[in-house]
Chains A and B, each alone.
Chain A
Amino acid sequence: MAYALQQLVNGITLGMIYGLIAVGYTMVYGIIGMINFAHGDVFMVGAFVGIIVLTALTGVTSVPMGILAALLLSAGVCALYGFSIERVAYRPLRGSFRLAPLISAIGMSILLENYVQTSQGALERAIPVTVPGGIQLMNENGFVVQLSWMQIAIVVVTLVTLAIFTYIVTKTPLGRSMRAVEQDAKMAALLGIDTNRTISYTFIIGSALAAVAGVMFLLYYGVIDFYIGFNAGIKAFTAAVLGGIGSLPGAVLGGLLIGLIEAFWSGYATVAYKDVAVYSILAIVLMFMPTGLLGRNDVEKV
């Protein structure tokens, strides 16, 4: 019981991070119908900006202030990355054949990985500060269920970020125009919406969310390297597909499910095969629900 509870706590924390990244995949897919394979690497850049800020601020400010600064700066820098990537690698290819931006995205992903590798080094980097301790949830025959401060922080920050994001999408003019472009870009343009600008905003918001996830990942695991974006990106992409690509609540749900599957599989079966479990479940879900858990059954427009 205690062991299961601990896995649940770990799974939710991990799932929150995947969910934040998955939202970026699903947004971009929804609005321009392409998979942004460089998204995982924007997440990685976010983690690196986080480590640079935290290193610089160690001893200068208190730890919570340092983390807050890391979150804000990282979100800002990654927003700039997201904007530039779309501008340089995707916009010139819009209207080209479908695979062109996809290949360009893979190229962008490799570029970012190599850029970080050469500028930051290929070795793992460890976080300079940690927040030890936490709340003891349960003690069963000496097995302590621990909810660390870090896990609480991750869940709280993710929920706050998602709440702001949901507000933007559902209530503001920007969110309305994003949904309009997603449903019918030409009609949206006819109503006076600048679709290019709306797409830029989508990349900016998605990248800022990935940056938050990157900093959270850094705080949770304590070590990062230039390659973390690949694995986390593929997992988050899986989460987006599992939840139904194009659906925002689906992305968060998919992220949580994948986090939980990973945590429970690691806890009860073998750690080595946790990815096999994740992808097997994805394959099974897609066999029976091809549009994912919350995906819409879109009929192709004539």
Chain B
Amino acid sequence: MSDTLLAVTNLTMRFGGLTAVNALSFDAKRGNITAVIGPNGAGKTTVFNCITGFYKPTSGNIAIAHTPGTSLLLDKLPGHAITKKGRVARTFQNIRLFGGMTVLENLLVAQHNELQAATGFGVLAILGLGKYRAAEKAAIERAKYWLDATSLIDRADDPAASLPYGAQRRLEIARAMCTNPVLLCLDEPAAGLNPRESQALNELLLKIRADGCSLLLIEHDMGVVMKISDHIIVLDHGKKIADGTPAEIRSNPTVIAAYLGEGDDDDPDAPIAETLAAAQ
């Protein structure tokens, strides 16, 4: 259960003169929840964007091992193939649902590739025949499974944009899971959630891990990070400054310095520093 699923090696991403990520290397183990934390501007989202094909890294490799011993370079794949072949899914810091489509349709879009393959160039889909019908049924079953898991089953036929904020966040996770990923990347899934929703999110993430999907998580809410992560990676100014279990990170002096030492009065990360200090 502890072999490497995702290996990031010497990842560098430059935007003009700005180096957002500098020679970063880390591993995420199979079956783990790996959290990436760090002050604002540390390069966390940039790392995510490189992993999920939004950016092409300036240099370095990102490899995923679907089964132990194999390796597929994600940075060499075109955008849409990262989900299809790389089996990496993600959610965003700001919600990007298809607002005009229903909740169920959002989940079916995510299963486009399986469904499209079964349509026989669209002919079977129009006639509603043969293996397309079976594929559609399977797709709806999988959608129902994740709607149940995110307790959205009652809202299945409502437009996604009409859901309350917390439910939209859960729907994004459900949609990502419908692509059948081996690695789910979540960019601040707890942002804007109330404590009760945050608790429900923890349970959902643990369920996803129990179902066999590994997670990579960017999160500011230390309540979530410390409780559910198996491994934490701390970034600052595009570099890895620490790497370890929640207990190790909590007592790591470099991490505390990064959060406390350079923070000023209007540092938006101040609450995290306090949490870290309190956790001491």
A residues near B (Cβ < 8 Å) are 164, 167-168, 171-174, 176-177, 179-180, 183-184, 186-195
Measured CA separation A96–B232 after assembly (Å): 41
Residues of A within 8 A of B126 (CB): 164, 167-168, 172
Q: How many Cβ-Cβ contacts under 8 Å join chain A to chain B? A: 82
CA distance A208 to B50 in the complex (A): 39
Tell me which of B54, B80, B115 contacts A195 (CB under 8 A).
B80
A184 engages B98 (CB within 8 Å): yes
Set of chain A residues within 8 Å of B98, measured between Cβ atoms: 179-180, 183-184, 187
Is B116 in contact with A177, judged by CB distance below 8 angstroms?
A: yes
Task: Give B87-111 interface residues, CB cut-off 8 Å to A.
Answer: 89-90, 92, 96, 98-101, 105, 108-110
Q: Evaluate whether A180 and B83 lie within 8 angstroms (CB atoms) in the complex, with A172-B125, A192-B179 already known.
A: no
Q: Are A187 and B96 in contact (CB under 8 A)?
A: yes
Interface pairs (7), CB distance under 8 Å:
A171-B125, A177-B116, A179-B101, A179-B105, A188-B109, A191-B112, A192-B179
Q: Are A173 and B80 in contact (CB under 8 A)?
A: no
Q: Is B116 within 8 A of A174, CB to CB?
A: yes
Say yes or no: A192-B80 contact (C-beta < 8 A), given A168-B122, A176-B112.
yes
**Max chain B CB contacts within 10 Å: which of A179, A186, A191?**
A191
Q: Which residues of B contact A173 (CB under 8 A)?
A: 108, 112, 115-116, 119, 125
Contact residues, B237-277 vs A (CB, 8 A): none
- Minimal beta-carbon separation of A200 from chain B (angstroms): 13
> In the complex, are the beta carbons of B122 and A174 less than 8 A apart?
yes
A190 in contact with B125 (CB, 8 Å): no
Whole-angstrom CA separation of A188 from B119 in the bound complex: 19
Residues of the B chain whose Cβ atoms lie less than 8 Å from the Cβ of A191: 83, 89, 109-110, 112, 175, 179
From residue A236, how far is it (CB to closest CB) to chain B in Å?
A: 24
- Known interface pairs A190-B90, A192-B112, A192-B179; A179-B79 also in contact (CB < 8 Å): no
User: B26 to nearest A CB, angstroms?
Assistant: 22
* Residues in B whose Cβ lies below 8 Å from that of A193: 80, 109, 112-113
Measured as residues with beta carbon below 8 angstroms from the partner, the interface class of chain B is: 20 to 34
A176 touches B79 (CB 8 A): no
Return B49 CB to nearest CB of chain A, in Å.
Answer: 11
Q: Which residues of A contact B109 (CB under 8 A)?
A: 176-177, 179-180, 188, 191, 193
> In the complex, how many angstroms separate the beta carbon of B205 from the nearest chain A beta carbon?
19
Instruction: Tell me the smallest distance from the CB of B209 to a CB of chain A, in Å.
Output: 21
A164, closest chain B residue (CB): B126
CB <8 Å contact, A180 and B101: yes
Contacts of B79 in A (CB 8 A): 186, 189-190
- B15 vs chain A, min Cβ distance (A): 17
CB-CB under 8 A from B119, the residues of chain A are 172-174
Residues of chain B from 213 to 243 with CB closer than 8 A to chain A in the complex:
none
Residues of A within 8 A of B112 (CB): 173, 176-177, 180, 191-193
- Chain B residue nearest to A172 in the complex (CB): B125
Smallest CB gap from A192: residue in B: B83
Q: How far, in angstroms, from A171 to B126 measured CA to CA in the complex?
A: 8
Q: Judging by beta carbons under 8 Å apart, are A183 and B100 in contact?
A: yes
Instruction: Tell me if B82 counts as interface (CB < 8 A to partner A).
Output: yes
- Give, as a whole number of angstroms, the nearest-CB distance from A301 to chain B: 9
Bound state CA distance, A192 and B175, in angstroms? Answer: 12
Question: Chain A nearest CB: distance from B108 CB in Å?
Answer: 6
B84 within 8 A of A: yes
The answer, yes or no, to whether B45 is at the interface (CB within 8 Å) is no
B80 in contact with A189 (CB, 8 Å)? yes
| B12 CB–A CB distance under 8 Å | no
Q: A177-B112, A179-B105, A192-B81 provided; 10 other pairs, C-beta below 8 A?
A: A167-B126, A168-B122, A171-B125, A190-B54, A191-B110, A191-B112, A191-B179, A192-B179, A193-B80, A195-B80
| Interfacial chain A residues near B54, Cβ < 8 Å | 186, 190
Q: B101, A183: Cβ atoms under 8 Å?
A: yes
In the assembled complex, B52 has its CB within 8 A of some CB on chain A: yes
A172 with B122: in contact, given A180-B101, A190-B82, A195-B80 (CB under 8 Å)? yes
Assembled-state Cα–Cα distance A191/B98 (Å): 12
Write the chain B residue with the least CB distance to A296.
B100
| A172-B82 Cα distance, complex, nearest whole Å | 23
Given A173-B115, A174-B116, A179-B101; A192-B122 close (CB under 8 Å): no
B82 partner residues in chain A, CB cutoff 8 A: 190
Residue with the highest number of chain A CB atoms closer than 10 Å, among B80, B81, B84, B115: B80
How many Å lie between the Cα of A191 and that of B109 in the bound state?
Answer: 8
